[in-house]
Amino acid sequence: MSKRFFTDRSCRLTSWARLGFVGFVAGGLLAPLSAQDKPAEPPAATQSPEANPTTSEPATAAPEKKQEESKPTAKAPAKKQVRVLALSGEYVDLQGGSGFNPTDLIMGGGGGRPKSFYKLCDYLDELSHEELVTHVVFDLSASSLSMNPAQLDEFSRRLTHLRGHGKKCIAWLESASNVHMSIASGCDEVLLADLGGIDMPSSSMETMFYRDAMDLLGVQASVTRAGDFKGAVEPYVNPVMSKHLKEHYLAMLESINNAQVGRIAKGRGLSVAAVRELQKKRMILPVEALASKLVDKLVSYGAMEKTVMDSLGDSYEWTKPKAKPKKEVSIFELMGQAMAPPKNPLKIKDDSIVVVHLSGAIEDGKTANGGSIVSGPTVKLIEDLTADEKVKGVVVRINSPGGSATASEAIRQALEAMAKKKPLVFSMGELAASGGYWITCIGQPIFAEHGTITGSIGVFSMKLSGGALARRLGVHIESVTLDSAAGMNALSHAWTEEETEMMQKFIGTIYDKFLQIASSSRNIPVETLKSLAGGRVWSGEQAKANRLVDQLGGLDDALAMVAKNAKLDKYKVVHRPEATGGLDLGSLLGGREEDADILASSELLSVLESKLCEMLKAQGFRGDATRLLLRSMDLSGKQSPKAWALLGEELKIRY
């Protein structure tokens, strides 16, 4: 290792030490910092404190006067409550690590932390049993509100459950999108600010193609793929989308949009055709929204509380969820909490159904990596839950574009062993494609929502070579090998026809395995399955029609099925894995130290990965697949070619 390496690292550590000294001085001069509010969904509500029902005379009263006995006064009846819930920001199935990253204090930035979708759902269930709460107002004025189609489907069912318990639900809109309208359509009454409006476009999709940029840089992709429909590699080999892939995506988009239109139409009592015409118009003025019955009433901007309370009268009180008190902590406490290793999960003490969240790209490895599904720790978690007698059943919730075929198979085998000992059901979230579908192939029930993207049964391998880039930089890479195969993975080398043919046989073997396990799991003949595979992606509704999933539904439905199969009347729901620690100190000092197959091979690639994924996320793309492929680039030439069961293209669907 070079002297410069140690010098650079020493400089970094010295900078951190200086920063600590500055923080120490600042800590003595400034008031303690407040930890970020926990962005969880609303807990118990704040109620107006009632006056003490009894009074007594002061102890210093004149002795000559006889103290009158205090008489208990009648307690005023509690007012009925209107509970207001302000929804904003992005909701995710599984929250990541700490909401606070200390580097944000140094480098700036640090946007709002995503909120837990299922904590919000749990709160609605609790709210349905609060006797004093008769009305629930959903403040949907925040333009940042974001839920994916799978979440919107489930949230609609939670609203139906809430209304079924006698709670009247009211939606407040200002500048509304499809997400706002999908939620509002599940309410009894929809109010729109007179200065607002509705932007309700039909579903559309965007994806990025890198071929022209790669040609400019001098980077070439060598690719082998199984099946004729693997869109995962098109962004790297084509400058634009192929015609047959675009036609396939259009059919999927139509299915997803139909579900969205149907949700709004059903909630507002409109025809599907009427809502579709409104989509084509897209920008809808308040008076037009009222005339088309998308909303029930136009009210003055900013008059949400006044409008609702005037209609109900003085026998009601306006209440908000009770916020947890802020805890004052110093900068050093925050740094310590963020850099601490992940806590061991709490022991499960009661009979429980565990929801195992598998979110992110699937990687080979032994050390957990936030935002990814790493095979080693994931298999261990599954084995631990299998052995835990308090775990009476499991729902596996999947949000993944897939990844390594070998890692997917390791996880699938662990789940197959679990299913032999306790009830297990799969619940697909926004995305469960390729390797994310592979792990479901154990013959157990699969739920998907209408807007879930799944399928992508296919395999590919890809190698990026930078020989042209090196030459443009004035660098010539000379390889000395005993035979041509020895230099197959060299940085400057693109696969020859013979090497491509060899890789095609390798990929074909993995693809045959994928077809076999999917065929056995879904009871579909391999020849029939081939017309659904080859990398084709499907909406949840299409997947149900093609028998790739069993039922349309969400986590609530999957939990009910597991409880029934386990014959449970009472149980707790536990989510695993628990959130990881906030800041990986190793990432600051040079990355993870493990023998995982997938590691950034240079600081240049690390910077490229960070910047590109940051750009993709800013544009609304997930970035999981791109991050995984970049991290898999082998500049050393030592690693074996990878077989990917991965939806490699970045898809952004605008709902």
pLDDT at 54 over 60: no
Is 21 part of a structural domain of the chain? no
- Considering the domain architecture, whether residues 137 and 164 belong to the same structural domain is answered as yes
Overall domain count for the chain: 2
- Considering the domain architecture, whether residues 510 and 472 belong to the same structural domain is answered as yes
Q: Are the CB atoms for 102 and 151 separated by under 8 Å?
A: no
- Considering the domain architecture, whether residues 514 and 599 belong to the same structural domain is answered as yes
Give the list of residues 6+ apart from residue 474 with CB closer than 8 angstroms, or none: none
477-536 confidence digits (pLDDT tens): 777 878 777 777 777 788 888 888 899 999 999 999 999 999 999 999 999 999 999 989
Query: Whole-number mean pLDDT of the chain?
Result: 81
* Position with higher pLDDT, 61 vs 126: 126
* 3-class DSSP state of 172: strand
Distance CA 533, CA 459 (A): 10
| Angle subtended by helix axes 405-419 and 375-387, to nearest 10 | 0
Q: Which domain holds residue 195?
A: 80-200+282-319
Lowest mean pLDDT among 103-107, 148-152, 520-524: 103-107
Distance CA 590, CA 600 (A): 10
Distance CA 401, CA 123 (A): 30
Secondary structure of 133-190 as H, E, C letters: EEEEEEECCCCCCECCHHHHHHHHHHHHHHHHCCCEEEEEEEEECHHHHHHHCCCCEE
Is 244 part of a structural domain of the chain? no
Q: What is the DSSP string of 179-199?
A: HHHHHHTTSSEEEEEEEEEEE
**pLDDT value of position 404:** 94
Closest CA to 640 of 494, 496, 531, 488: 488
- Considering the domain architecture, whether residues 229 and 185 belong to the same structural domain is answered as no
- Considering the domain architecture, whether residues 194 and 293 belong to the same structural domain is answered as yes
pLDDT at 100 over 80: no
* Position with higher pLDDT, 387 vs 216: 387
- Considering the domain architecture, whether residues 315 and 427 belong to the same structural domain is answered as no
Closest CA to 334 of 580, 638, 34, 634: 34
Distance CA 484, CA 638 (A): 15
Q: Write the single-letter amino acid at 345.
A: P
What values do phi and psi take at 454, rounded to 5?
-140, -170
Distance CA 655, CA 149 (A): 8
Distance CA 436, CA 412 (A): 10
Distance CA 587, CA 603 (A): 11
pLDDT at 537 over 80: yes
- Considering the domain architecture, whether residues 471 and 352 belong to the same structural domain is answered as yes
- Considering the domain architecture, whether residues 383 and 446 belong to the same structural domain is answered as yes
Q: Are the CB atoms for 429 and 400 separated by under 8 Å?
A: no
Helix (H) or strand (E) holding 130: none
What CATH code is carried by the domain that includes residue 289? Answer: 3.90.226.10
Is 42 part of a structural domain of the chain? no
Is 8 part of a structural domain of the chain? no
**pLDDT value of position 632:** 67
**pLDDT value of position 641:** 75
* 3-class DSSP state of 470: helix
- Considering the domain architecture, whether residues 631 and 510 belong to the same structural domain is answered as yes
Distance CA 534, CA 231 (A): 9
* 3-class DSSP state of 567: coil
**pLDDT value of position 114:** 87
What are the E-state strand segments in 330-488? Answer: 352-359, 361-363, 372-374, 391-400, 402-404, 424-433, 446-448, 453-455, 460-465
Q: Are the CB atoms for 646 and 626 separated by under 8 Å?
A: no
Q: What is the DSSP string of 471-512?
A: HHTT-------SSGGGGTT-TTPPP-HHHHHHHHHHHHHHHH
Count of Cβ atoms closer than 10 Å to residue 31 Cβ: 8
pLDDT at 97 over 50: no
**pLDDT value of position 346:** 73
Strands 446-448 and 402-404, sheet pairing: unpaired
Residue 633: band (very low, low, confident or very high) from pLDDT cuts 50, 70, 90: low
Distance CA 453, CA 399 (A): 10
Strands 424-433 and 391-400, sheet pairing: parallel
- Considering the domain architecture, whether residues 177 and 219 belong to the same structural domain is answered as no
Distance CA 542, CA 612 (A): 32
Distance CA 519, CA 103 (A): 48
Distance CA 92, CA 113 (A): 10
* Position with higher pLDDT, 381 vs 70: 381
**What is the rounded average pLDDT of the residues 617-639?**
64
| Angle subtended by helix axes 3-29 and 331-339, to nearest 10 | 140
- Tell which phi-psi region holds residue 218, choosing left (phi > 0), alpha (psi between -120 and 50) or beta: left
Give the list of residues 6+ apart from residue 359 with CB closer than 8 angstroms, or none: 93, 94, 371, 373, 397, 398, 399, 400, 429
Q: What is the DSSP string of 34-95?
A: EPPPP-PPP-SBP-PPPPPS-----TT--TTSPPPPPPPPPPPPPPEEEEEEE--SBEESS-
Lookup: tokens for 305: 């509380």
pLDDT at 267 over 70: yes
Lowest mean pLDDT among 57-61, 500-504, 533-537, 635-639: 57-61
Is 22 part of a structural domain of the chain? no
Distance CA 417, CA 587 (A): 34
Number of alpha carbons in the 13 Å side-chain half-sphere of residue 83 = 27
pLDDT at 48 over 90: no
- Considering the domain architecture, whether residues 89 and 165 belong to the same structural domain is answered as yes
**pLDDT value of position 20:** 47
The strand pairing partners of 355, in sequence order, are 395, 575
Is 47 part of a structural domain of the chain? no
What values do phi and psi take at 118, rounded to 5?
-80, -20
Number of residues that make up the chain: 655
How far out from the chain centre does Cα 130 lie?
30
Secondary structure of 13-43 as H, E, C letters: HHHHHHHHHHHHHHHHHCCCEECCCCCCCCC
Is 481 part of a structural domain of the chain? no
Closest CA to 440 of 401, 413, 421: 413
pLDDT at 33 over 50: no
73-82 confidence digits (pLDDT tens): 666 678 899 9
End-to-end CA distance of the chain: 50
Is 255 part of a structural domain of the chain? no
Using a 10 angstrom Cβ sphere, with 0-12 exposed, 13-18 middle and 19 or more buried, the burial of residue 238 is middle
Looking up tokens 């599984």, which residue turns up? Answer: 94
- Residue 101 is given by DSSP the state -
Distance CA 450, CA 549 (A): 11
Distance CA 376, CA 364 (A): 7
The strand pairing partners of 539, in sequence order, are 453
- Considering the domain architecture, whether residues 190 and 221 belong to the same structural domain is answered as no
Q: Are the CB atoms for 130 and 45 separated by under 8 Å?
A: yes
Helix (H) or strand (E) holding 574: strand 572-576
